[in-house]
Amino acid sequence: MPSISYWAIRLALIHLGLGLTAGALMLAHKGYPFLPHFDRWLTAHFHTMLFGWTVQLVIGVGYWILPKFRGGTSRGNDALAIAAIVLVNVGTLMGAGFALYGVAATVAFALQAGAAVCFAVHLWPRVKAFGA
pLDDT per residue over 89-101, tens digit each? 999 998 888 766 6
Q: What is the torsional sign of CA 56, 60, 61, 63? A: positive
pLDDT per residue over 75-84, tens digit each? 878 899 999 9
Determine the Cα angle at 97 with ends 5 and 22, to 5°: 75
Long-range contacts of 30-37 (CB under 8 A, 24+ apart): none
pTM, two decimals, is: 0.85
